Structure 1
């Protein structure tokens, strides 16, 4: 049985996701990758040490 992990978004990430409107589902699909492989993102430092971030790009965005 494969472990799954929880995905939590910062308020800024939530706002960015909402701003994507028509591409929101595509972005959520990208983020869902972290549930099965949380180490795909890179580790953050400072006050959010222990948190990981995932960067990706999508067609139709700047």
Structure 2
């Protein structure tokens, strides 16, 4: 799985960080998503899928699920 994020779309809700803290973080100044691991290990897939599904601004894209 490969993850991309669109920081311009991100609304800073932080749900992705709660769902997958080893994969996502937020910028201190504005809360916008920061991608820590573009290709996470398989044991993180379920959490990443949950984060992408729950993202209110659809800023997270998953390829190769």
- Which of 1 and 2 has higher RCO (CA within 8 Å, sep 6+)? 2
Greater share of residues in strand: 2
TM-score, normalised relative to structure 1: 0.29
Greater share of residues in helix: 1
TM-score, normalised relative to structure 2: 0.29
* Higher Cα radius of gyration: 1
